[in-house]
A = this chain, B = another copy of it.
Amino acid sequence: MIDQHLRAAKLATVLLGYRRDEVVYERGAPAQFIYAVTEGTLCRLRVLEDGRRLILQFLFPGDVFGYELGRNHRHTVQALTKDTRVLSVGREALLEASKSDAQLSHFLFTAAARAEAVASEHSAMLLGRSITEQIALFLLEMDARISRGGEIALPMRRRHIADYLGRRLESVSRTFTAFHKAKVIEFLGNPKIRRQVVIPDKRRLERLAAPVVGRPTE
């Protein structure tokens, strides 16, 4: 996808590899490259002074990240999985090329517009939601993005889910347990390994995600 555009624009790319928890760049670092995920999962995050971590986005293959309006990166990006691969291209060269290459520029616009839509969806799963709704929405999002044959292999830990939803990890864990007991989700393989999820009845999860609090009298 992106590499076609880059090749067409004769831009040099470098393929980078990261291990689990390895940092691609830190918040505040000069924005020298723009990246596209080719394999694995990463997250875009901010760390507050008191140690809290806010995860703003999970990045999956195809996602573009690292373009900034200013000189520096606004967030830290970190790999979640062992074998994460990322394609990088010089930011200055790319933005310069895009000024005369409408195709490329249009591609960048599309990537940014998609990133905006993703961020808006994230806000929508945070605004005024109970943790039950949040986890339901989260599972539906993961189902849409990374499920294969009805199975979701979650690449992130409970901790990351908590930081993504603005909750404590204990609360996330409790909600997973509650969903499992209510048979809203099932765990694959060893039932103690709870990173492989199946959703037997998506309708039910959707109802948990957007509860129509009985309005028969309204």
| A190 close to B (CB within 8 Å) | no
Do B211 and A123 touch across chains, with their CB atoms under 8 A apart? no
Number of chain copies forming the complex: 2
**CB <8 Å contact, B67 and A215:** no
The answer to whether the Cβ of A1 comes within 8 Å of any Cβ in the partner chain is no
A93 at the interface (CB under 8 A from B): no
Pick the residue among B49, B110, B123 that contacts A126 (CB under 8 A).
Answer: B123
Q: Which one of A100-108, A144-152, A178-186, A191-199 is at the B interface?
A: A100-108
| B98 with A128: CB separation less than 8 A | no
Cα of A122 to Cα of B69 in the assembled complex, Å: 17
CB of A75 within 8 A of chain B?
yes
Q: By CB atoms of chain B within 10 A, which of A120, A124, A164, A212 has the most?
A: A120
Q: Which among A116, A122, A127, A163 has the highest number of chain B CB atoms within 10 Å?
A: A127
Which of chain B's residues have a CB closer than 8 A to the CB of A213?
Answer: 50
